Amino acid sequence: MTTMDESGGGSGGEGSSRKPPSIGGDLYHSRDLQESLMECRSAMLDFAVLPIVHPRAERLPNSTQNRVDRFCWPLTRSDMLLSSGQWSTMIVGRLSKWLRLDSKTLSEVKASEAALKEEFAWATHLGLAAVLAPPPAPGVVCSNYARQLNHLIVKAQMGMNVWLEISHGDWAVWNRFRCLCDYSPSLQVALRLEGSQIEAADEASEEQKWLRWMGEPIRSMLIKMSDFVPNASGYPTLPPKMRKVVVRFYERGVQFVLTGRPRHPNGLLPYQMYLVHLCNKSASTPSYREQFESPFYDYLQIPLQPLGDNLESQTYETFEKDPVKYARYEEAVKQALSDAAKRSPPDEDLVVMVVGAGRGPLIRASLRGARAAFLDHRVKIFGVEKNPNAVITLLNSWPRGCSERVQIIAGDMRDWKAPEKADVIVSELLGSWGDNELSPECLRGVEKYLKPTGVSVPCKYDSYIAPMSSHKIWADVRGLSKGPTDVDPSIAASGIARFETPYVVRLFNFYHIDDPKVCFTFDHQPRTEEDFLQEDDGKDVLERQTVMTFSAKEDAMVHGFAGYFTADLYKQVNISIHPDQFSDGMFSWFPLFLPLREPVFVKKNEKMMVTFWRKRSKDKVWYEWSMETESGQITPIHNPTGRSYAVNL
């Protein structure tokens, strides 16, 4: 289960349509700020990208002097032309394009360093939200550029973001730069679309490259106005493949910057109108689930431990609203009881045990399922619950002695001495990764109360693992002790070793480097004392070790693993959060993220051998994991100290 507390972000999902795209204009050629802003306003643009240095004062590349005498003329325009509110919301500053911090000519390096510092200081003084930094020169070492920029970012203490301009084909350049800058949260991508390359490329072979960008912190997308083509009426439009790219990134919340000079006589407005129209027409309508979940995108949470902790009223309330899960349970119980009825004498009661009854949703689903099965048998339900607060709710619904069909038992299912055996044992003890909320440990104790023909609902569940890339999520995990990022406050306070624990997170800004593979499987069936004795012969049947081999679909950074589950409730009835077989509309679980301490680079088609362990001691359960790549990189085994889930017996 996944908590969905309200601190997760915005309210999310009031309307059923997306916000219109945020579009800015790049005023590289502007000489008069007021006039340019008027132009932006009449083109209905949301913001403007403006050179920080006034063109007349631009430095000469090979000197530390400016073109004009600094003692007579200031470096640039006065900050008093705009209010500080306007500077901080409407303007992105563009650093000088001529900067050559990795030039082989020392004087050019010195001049570039001095200029970069001065421009950054002015941008900080203005309180700009972001500066657009020129692209690292292609095919050249960019380490001094990265060093200097990183130094300024660290000094500015995250007050301002740096959008680094990167051509869409240059993922490798971005990867090198962000590694040098140590995943600074203030460094983001301004992705420049190269229209001719996009139209010339084979779409299918490019698909993985676009998907890979989904794991990167793309803040904006630069679109050249020269890549637009006039339609029959002479208005600018984008060619088909560009259109797809633009819509796809719009759906991910990326904003756009129109660059170059407009070719249409009406200036920027027709370009702005076209983009708004395109996004409005072509983007998918957000589903109810998307609206509900969007405030939780990429937001790290600690997995619940319903066995160790007692859930609160609000948590029960949220999960009870799942429109899919309980319908599937109802269907499963209905089929299971129908089958049980066929093999039972008509005068014998059918027995259902709901173990971990919470506030009663599975009891209600079982009652509905029994009714829907039109049975000739009477059905008797036991509801077992260990949380004393939830028991208050259960007893309000089914007071002792007042209901013959439903009987509430206050206590841990593992201690319970059942008075008879069950046809169906129903439970909802699954976590995002199936067994991680200790369903196997709990159900193991009650399997002996199944009749020889009885069934457990669920009867079987699988966890899944996929290697994944996500700059943001990994950087957030690393930043946990450091300060304000998109994380549940309880994580920051809890002092967990950041990389040694799984997180619950609605994965969004991420990339599957390969498809998910099955990791651990558990099933539940009637078990006699003899079975137990045989199985317990020296080995722990609830421990697991699995080795999986993955193959990278593209050059990529592995930041960790995505975890999912599927569960068979009964026969064909199942629930799943595996992306390929997701139970549509179900919202009770977000995926798991299991981080690596250090990101690992893999080449396209390179093999990754990944091992996962489920380990147990008397009073706890934990996971360990590690990875080895074909090229010989070996990660340490994660979670060697066994940070764990209390079994709490």
Task: Candidates 17, 196, 280, 396: give the one binding a second copy (CB under 8 A).
Answer: 396
Shortest distance (Å) from residue 432 CB to a second copy: 22
Q: Which is nearer to a second copy, 77 or 386 (CB)?
A: 77
Residue 13 is a binding residue for a second copy (CB under 8 A): no
Give the span between the Cα atoms of 427 and 210, in whole angstroms: 41
Contacts to a second copy from residues 309-348, by CB under 8 A: 310, 312-314, 317-318
Distances (CA, A) of 6 to 3, 318, 489, 588: 9, 11, 12, 15
In the shown chain, the binding pattern of residues 155 to 194 toward a second copy, with x for contact by CB under 8 A and - for none, equals --x-------------------------------------
Q: Which amino acid is at 305?
A: Q
User: Which residues, other chains included, contact 34 with Cβ-Cβ below 8 Å and sequence gap of 6+?
Assistant: 81
Q: Which is nearer to a second copy, 353 or 409 (CB)?
A: 409
Task: Candidates 83, 453, 481, 528: give the one binding a second copy (CB under 8 A).
Answer: 83
Residue 240 is a binding residue for a second copy (CB under 8 A): no
Residue 55 is a binding residue for a second copy (CB under 8 A): no
Give the span between the Cα atoms of 325 and 321, in whole angstroms: 9
Task: Candidates 50, 75, 367, 438: give the one binding a second copy (CB under 8 A).
Answer: 75
Residue 481 is a binding residue for a second copy (CB under 8 A): no
Shortest distance (Å) from residue 445 CB to a second copy: 23
Q: Which is nearer to a second copy, 131 or 211 (CB)?
A: 131
Contacts to a second copy from residues 131-160, by CB under 8 A: 157
Q: Which is nearer to a second copy, 31 or 125 (CB)?
A: 125
Binders of a second copy: how many residues, by CB under 8 A? 45
Task: Candidates 391, 413, 562, 577: give the one binding a second copy (CB under 8 A).
Answer: 391
Residue 376 CB neighbour total at 10 angstroms:
10
User: Which residues, other chains included, contact 247 with Cβ-Cβ below 8 Å and sequence gap of 6+?
Assistant: 278, 279, 282, 283
Residue 623: strand, helix, or coil: strand
Q: Name the segment binding a second copy (CB under 8 A); options: 23-31, 38-46, 83-91, 96-104.
A: 83-91
Residue 127 is a binding residue for a second copy (CB under 8 A): yes
Q: Which is nearer to a second copy, 88 or 635 (CB)?
A: 88
Task: Candidates 9, 484, 585, 636: give the one binding a second copy (CB under 8 A).
Answer: 484
Shortest distance (Å) from residue 73 CB to a second copy: 7
Residue 288 is a binding residue for a second copy (CB under 8 A): no
Query: Which DSSP category does 254 fall into?
Result: -
Residue 41 is a binding residue for a second copy (CB under 8 A): no
**Which entry of 58, 119, 437, 500 is annotated as an active-site residue?**
437
Give the span between the Cα atoms of 307 and 646, in whole angstroms: 8
Contact present, 132 and 161 (Cβ < 8 Å): no
Shortest distance (Å) from residue 312 CB to a second copy: 5
Contact present, 49 and 94 (Cβ < 8 Å): yes
Q: Which two tokens stand for residue 442?
A: 């709990």
Q: Which residues of 360-370 are buried (b: 16+ CB within 10 A; e: fewer)?
A: bbbbbbbbbbb
Q: Which is nearer to a second copy, 4 or 353 (CB)?
A: 4
Token pair 């705009």: residue: 82
Task: Candidates 71, 205, 345, 529: give the one binding a second copy (CB under 8 A).
Answer: 71
Q: Name the segment binding a second copy (CB under 8 A); options: 291-299, 395-403, 513-521, 592-600.
A: 395-403
Q: What are phi and psi of 100, to 5 degrees?
A: -130, 75
User: Which of these, 613, 610, 608, lies nearest to 639 by C-alpha position?
Assistant: 613
Active site residue 428: yes
Task: Candidates 1, 37, 95, 126: give the one binding a second copy (CB under 8 A).
Answer: 126
Q: What are phi and psi of 140, to 5 degrees?
A: -125, 155
Residue 481 CB neighbour total at 10 angstroms:
11
Task: Candidates 9, 20, 55, 74: give the one binding a second copy (CB under 8 A).
Answer: 74
Residue 222: strand, helix, or coil: strand
Q: Which residues of 216-233 are buried (b: 16+ CB within 10 A; e: fewer)?
A: bbbbbbbbbbebbeeeee
Give the span between the Cα atoms of 629 and 557, in whole angstroms: 12
Q: Name the segment binding a second copy (CB under 8 A); options: 101-109, 132-140, 482-490, 522-530.
A: 482-490
Shortest distance (Å) from residue 314 CB to a second copy: 4
| E strand segments, 98-225 | 130-133, 161-167, 187-192, 218-224
Task: Candidates 22, 64, 124, 633: give the one binding a second copy (CB under 8 A).
Answer: 124
Please give, one letter per residue, the 3-state secondary structure of 381-434.
EEEEECCHHHHHHHHHHCCCCCCCCEEEEECCCCCCCCCCCEEEEECCCCECCE
Q: Which is nearer to a second copy, 227 or 385 (CB)?
A: 385
User: Which of these, 436, 428, 427, lies nearest to 563 by C-alpha position?
Assistant: 436
Q: Which is nearer to a second copy, 74 or 640 (CB)?
A: 74
Active site residue 207: no
Shortest distance (Å) from residue 80 CB to a second copy: 6
User: Which residues, other chains included, contact 509 with Cβ-Cβ below 8 Å and sequence gap of 6+?
Assistant: 214, 215, 216, 217, 252, 297, 298, 470, 471, 472, 473
Token pair 């719009």: residue: 250
Q: Which is nearer to a second copy, 199 or 312 (CB)?
A: 312
In the shown chain, the binding pattern of residues 292 to 311 toward a second copy, with x for contact by CB under 8 A and - for none, equals ------------------x-
User: Which of these, 566, 497, 469, 490, lies nearest to 215 by C-alpha position?
Assistant: 469
Give the span between the Cα atoms of 381 and 383, in whole angstroms: 6
Q: Name the segment binding a second copy (CB under 8 A); options: 124-132, 189-197, 341-349, 366-374.
A: 124-132
Q: Name the segment binding a second copy (CB under 8 A); options: 120-128, 293-301, 372-380, 577-585.
A: 120-128
Contact present, 305 and 311 (Cβ < 8 Å): no
**Which entry of 165, 293, 428, 500 is annotated as an active-site residue?**
428
Residue 14 is a binding residue for a second copy (CB under 8 A): no
Residue 495 is a binding residue for a second copy (CB under 8 A): no
Give the span between the Cα atoms of 519 and 500, in whole angstroms: 18
Q: Name the segment binding a second copy (CB under 8 A); options: 10-18, 393-401, 433-441, 616-624.
A: 393-401
Q: Name the segment binding a second copy (CB under 8 A); options: 116-124, 284-292, 374-382, 527-535.
A: 116-124
Residue 76 is a binding residue for a second copy (CB under 8 A): yes
Residue 77 is a binding residue for a second copy (CB under 8 A): yes
Q: Which residues bind a second copy (CB under 8 A)?
A: 71-80, 83-84, 87-88, 118, 121-122, 124-127, 157, 310, 312-314, 317-318, 359, 388-393, 395-397, 399-401, 483-484, 489, 493
Write out the catalytic residue numbers.
428, 437
